[in-house]
Amino acid sequence: MLITIEGIDGSGKSSLMEGLKRELADLSPLFTREPGATWVGDQVRRAIAERVDPVTEALLFAADHAAHLATLVGPAIRDGRIVISDRYTDSRYAYQSVMLDGVLPEPLAWLRAVHAGWTIAPDCTFLLVLPVEDALARLPARRTREHFEEEEILSRVQAEYLALAEEEPGRFVVIDALGEKEGICRFVAGEIRALCGSRPPRHRL
């Protein structure tokens, strides 16, 4: 079972992941992330920092995804484990569609073709959605911002995410990320349990 968590920077994915680690500990899921679950991800971070051209950037994110699948996601799925990934293929479809706009004629179709034949599709994707101003206000003020973290870019990225969700309503669960953190976490954990046919443990330690 492959579950992915998506949303723009500042949408609360990291705290949701932390909450799910507590709520779903009895299911021993593999918690993972993109980019950066393998050494390829370190190169991706370097590429982001150095602002390489958008095609190089897209291919590096895709390479990180390939290494992530080969070393972590694929083996865990074959072992019948639940995998929960903070960002996954839809991050490329949403962010790189925007970054490649004007560079390639049909960015989304190109990105899909790059993934075709080897990626593993998620069973369910939770998309955290909120006004971009609120997302930006949540980003730590002192941290240098990545080039993705600008209002105009994030608005377009979020619009891409919503279009993907509209295209595949059976896979996406769209969540109001302005809601209370604990409530969002309990809801997502409950949905994941329902998908896996699992009940919460009766006695919490």
| Positions in the binding site for ligand TYD (CB under 6 A) | 9, 34-35, 48, 61, 87, 91-92, 95-96, 146, 148
Question: Minimum Å distance from CB 193 to ligand TYD?
Answer: 25
Question: Minimum Å distance from CB 196 to ligand TYD?
Answer: 24
Of the candidates 61, 33, 67, 64, the residue with the CA atom closest to the CA atom of residue 48: 61
Q: Which residues make Cβ contacts (< 8 Å) with residue 178, sequence separation at least 6?
A: 130, 131, 134
Question: Minimum Å distance from CB 42 to ligand TYD?
Answer: 12
Element (H, E) at 133: helix 132-138
Asked if 100 and 59 count as a contact pair (C-beta separation under 8 A), the reply is no
Sheet (strand 2-7) strand order: 30-33, 83-86, 2-7, 124-129, 172-176
Question: Minimum Å distance from CB 201 to ligand TYD?
Answer: 30
State which residue has the least CB distance to ligand TYD: 95
Q: Smaller CB distance to ligand TYD: residue 22 or 147?
A: 147
Q: Smaller CB distance to ligand TYD: residue 36 or 74?
A: 36
Element (H, E) at 153: helix 151-167
Q: Smaller CB distance to ligand TYD: residue 61 or 172?
A: 61
Q: Smaller CB distance to ligand TYD: residue 92 or 156?
A: 92
